[in-house]
Chain A
Amino acid sequence: MDTMMQPDDFKIAWQALDRRLELDNRLKLHDLRERTLDKTRSSLRPLFWGQVAQIVFGTAFIALAALLWMSRPEHAAVIVAGVLVHAYGLVAVIGAGVVLGQIGKLDHARPVLDLQKQLLRARTLYIRSGLLAGLPWWFLWIAILQVLTGLGDVDLLDQAPSLVWIGYGLGAAGLLATWWFHHWARRPQRADFGRKMDDSLTGGSLRRALAQLDELKRFEQE
């Protein structure tokens, strides 16, 4: 059988396929109307609830800092720790708010390229805000300990200075090691390893989203 097809043969095949599917489609249309139209199964729903959870999480840290301010702390180290915890809570809430704002702006009736870019930007923003919320934990745990003890009017730095300094030292070392490892894994000779590391940190979603953004840009430019 001659399988050489011209674009016009393609259109004829498309119309033939359409005729074959028409009967099936009529039956399905009835089903579409019967099922509720308000029930979307948006892939953005987990992302939305993830941000809501981050806002709740951030608010809990702001509340913890507020409790400390109400107890009128006098020790400088406790105040600094309180500022760190408060700032972290604010960053977590603002980061999630920005992502939610991006999701809220999405309009499926926009031109395909515009909406797909918006979607991917929201996704990359979400992943990066997640990393931003995760990395401070190298330090944050010790600041939280200081705040919790500060609520009982105890200055942890004064009572157990070695614990605090070792904690911050470990945090600084951990953050530096993370930064160094991040750059080391991205050298050209370790491209595969870097990719695997990215995937383990972000589930591969950031790399995929960025690759899809590149695909959109190529489609727009060609």
Chain B
Amino acid sequence: MDAITAMTHAHAADARDAFSALLHQHRGIVFKVANSYAWLAEDRDDLAQEIAAQLWHAYPKYDLGRSFSTWMYRVALNVAISFVRSNSLRQRHHAMPLDDELHDVADANADDPETAQHIRLLQRFIARQEPLERALLLLYLEDRGQREIADILGISESNVSTKIGRLKQRIRTQL
């Protein structure tokens, strides 16, 4: 009985180590999604934590034959969209002027004024997008292929192509 318990614990520790290594390797996905869906530092931390927890929760069912980053984007975006739709977060968002919320990220370690200005415009544009459009924008900015975007979002490749075309148009006209 003790041997079985020890083996179970060893297996659980291995799975946790493997997961930690993958989380470290793909940490950018967690933080980019968190940064795109939450502006306040406190919300960003909460969201990153929630994404990591849901990834760990879903990890036992992860199919090793499939791309880890695609799987991770799905989980992270699903958690972020649900998170941003919760009333409490929305109220906290609206309680603070958008510029103030964005200021801390845009100005941290600023290297040149033009880049800082571009980052600020980028963040404002991201903030104006609806949750699903924001997911598409994030995947487009990450240079993900249309097939992968379609797989993550659950829409057809032709729909992704049309939406990216419109997105580029909006970037040109709104900025």
| Total interface residues in chain B, CB < 8 Å | 70
Using a CB–CB distance below 8 Å, which chain B residues touch chain A? 16, 19-20, 23-24, 27-28, 30-32, 35, 45-46, 48-50, 52-54, 56-58, 61-62, 71, 74-75, 77-79, 81-83, 85-86, 105-106, 108-109, 111, 113-115, 117-119, 121-123, 125, 130, 132-133, 135, 141-143, 151-155, 159, 162-163, 167-168, 171-172, 175
**Contact segment of A13-21, A70-78, A125-133:** A13-21
Q: Mark A1-30, 1 if CB is under 8 A from B, else 0.
A: 101111101111110111011111110110
Minimal Cβ-Cβ distance residue in B for A1: B117
The answer to whether B172 touches A6 (Cβ under 8 A) is yes
Using a CB–CB distance below 8 Å, which chain A residues touch chain B? 1, 3-7, 9-14, 16-18, 20-26, 28-29, 31-33, 35, 37-43, 107-116, 119, 212, 215-216, 219-220, 222
Since A23-B109, A116-B81 are in contact, a sample of 16 more A-B pairs with Cβ atoms closer than 8 Å, ordered by chain A residue number, is A1-B114, A5-B122, A5-B175, A10-B141, A11-B143, A13-B115, A18-B32, A20-B105, A25-B28, A25-B31, A38-B53, A40-B54, A107-B61, A112-B154, A113-B132, A215-B130
The 8 Å CB contact of A113, one of B24, B117, B155, is B155
The answer to whether B155 touches A219 (Cβ under 8 A) is yes
28 contacts between A and B (CB under 8 A): A3-B175, A5-B118, A5-B171, A5-B175, A7-B172, A13-B115, A13-B118, A13-B121, A20-B109, A21-B108, A25-B31, A28-B45, A33-B20, A37-B52, A37-B56, A38-B53, A39-B49, A40-B50, A41-B53, A108-B78, A109-B71, A110-B74, A111-B151, A112-B78, A115-B74, A116-B81, A116-B82, A222-B162
Minimum CB–CB distance for B171 against chain A, Å: 5
Minimal Cβ-Cβ distance residue in B for A115: B78
Q: What residues of chain B lie closer than 8 Å to A42, measured between beta carbons?
A: 50
The answer to whether A16 touches B118 (Cβ under 8 A) is yes
Q: What residues of chain A lie closer than 8 Å to B114, measured between beta carbons?
A: 1
